[in-house]
Amino acid sequence: MGWALLGVGLLLALYTLLRHGLRSAPRPRARPELRGRTAIVTGGSSGIGAATALELARCGARVILATRSARRGEAAASRIRRETGNNEVLFMHLDLASLRSVRAFASTFLRQEPQLHLLINNAGVSAGGTTEDGFSLPFQVNHLGHFLLTQLLLERLRSCAPSRVVIVASSAHCAGRLRPECLGRPPSGLFSTFQDYCDSKLANVLHARELATREQGTQVTCYAVHPGFVSTSLFRHAPLWLRALLVPLAWLLFLEAAEGAQAVLACATRDGLEPLSGRYFTRGGPRAPWPAGRDDRLARQLWEGSERLLGLGTPRG
């Protein structure tokens, strides 16, 4: 028994040493002054979104936590106000799985808030399923709902420019296979849920690319960012057997939410990024996305297809 306990103790010690040895400490960075600036963070009640909102509040920004759960959203806003001493942190209801909710949020925000300088499109899901609007859940929450939200708030971003849109993407875009004629439909196959997630992340990268192209000259800039592999609740809907494998792996190798938020915050606040609008970023800075993420024709088709699905605008010739 004693030897068994000793073995377990040694394994735990080795596990902890590996965890800290494989992860580098984040570099300290100067805190920008954001007083007088307003930010929206979708999914701001937990994970990367909450860590991003906390830091923006510490910088003095007025921060809107746009999240689905009123209980978690109000609790997160209260916690951030208490920790930062910034009383301009508010919860507003937003359910990206409902286009009606997206429109209601935008209408309320535009009526109540005169300014918008930062839109952080962070919320995401990896679960399968179909929304009330008839689209696949990952595609709508991760891309289509954010696309609609951005379009509805774009004029306010322009009027408050210089302003930025930051889209939390993922290196999973490498496996994305968007087909313009099938946008919004769940893919088929054994790993359809994973494919759906990867497709939505490719859509994030292409959305940033096309938005930057269309907003040239307006001082609205846009960035897609892979925050790293972060230990969050994103994969809470994974099967139990898969979660049993992911939990120790995440503890050993994945970043904390505050570490993952650093890449998002850099794209939101770092000076001099304007010439890099539309680019894909990682924690190490701008990187070339996988080939599909550099396809301007596919980016344009995704934009026009998203507009058609939402009944917005008219396609460009």
pLDDT tens figures, 129-150: 999 999 999 999 999 999 999 9
CB 122 within 8 A of CB 41: yes
Choose between 176 and 82: higher pLDDT: 82
Residue 258 in contact with residue 58, Cβ under 8 Å?
no
CA angle 300, 175, 288 (to 5 degrees): 65
Q: Is 196 exposed, middle or buried (0-12, 13-18, 19+ CB in 10 A)?
A: buried
Question: Which of 15, 197, 223, 280 is flagged as catalytic?
Answer: 197
Does residue 28 have a pLDDT over 70?
no
> Would you state the structure tokens that stand for residue 91, as one six-digit string?
């919860």
Q: What is the pLDDT of residue 172?
A: 86
Q: What is the CA radius of gyration of the chain?
A: 20
DSSP letter at 232 equals S
| pLDDT at 260 (0 to 100) | 78
Q: What is the pLDDT averaged over residues 18-32?
A: 55
pLDDT at 16 over 50: no
Helix (H), strand (E) at residue 110: helix 99-112
How far, CA to CA in Å, does 155 sit from each of 39, 141, 200? 15, 22, 25
Measured CA to CA in angstroms, residue 203 lies from 121, 170, 171, 183, 200 at distances of 13, 10, 12, 10, 5
- The rounded percent of the chain whose pLDDT value lies above 70 is 80
pLDDT digits (tens, 9 = 90+) for 204-259: 999 999 999 999 999 999 999 998 665 555 455 555 544 555 555 554 455 676 78
d(CA 132, CA 63): 29
pTM assigned to the model? 0.84
The whole-angstrom separation of Cα 260 and Cα 133 is 31
Long-range contacts of 24-31 (CB under 8 A, 24+ apart): 26/258, 26/259, 26/262, 29/262, 29/266, 31/55, 31/58, 31/59
State yes or no: pLDDT of 30 exceeds 60. yes
pLDDT at 19: 42
Distance CA 262, CA 166 (A): 12
CA gap 201, 293 in Å, rounded: 10
11 pLDDT more than 50: no
Point out the least confidently predicted range of 6-20, 119-133, 207-221, 289-303: 6-20
Give the residues across from 280 on adjacent strands.
224, 287
What type of residue sits at position 89? V
If pLDDT is split at 50, 70 and 90, which confidence band does 51 have? Answer: very high
List the structure tokens of 21: 């040895």
State residue 84's pLDDT score.
Answer: 97
Structure tokens at 258: 């505050």
The residue ranking higher by pLDDT, 292 or 246, is 292
Domains of the chain plus CATH, in order, are 31-309 (3.40.50.720)
Question: pLDDT tier at 6 (50, 70, 90 boundaries)?
Answer: very low
Give me the pLDDT at residue 127, please: 83
Tell me whether residue 197 is one of the annotated catalytic residues.
Answer: yes
Q: Which of 27-31, 97-101, 294-298, 313-317 has the lowest mean pLDDT?
A: 313-317
Q: How far apart are CA 295 and CA 243, in angstroms?
A: 34
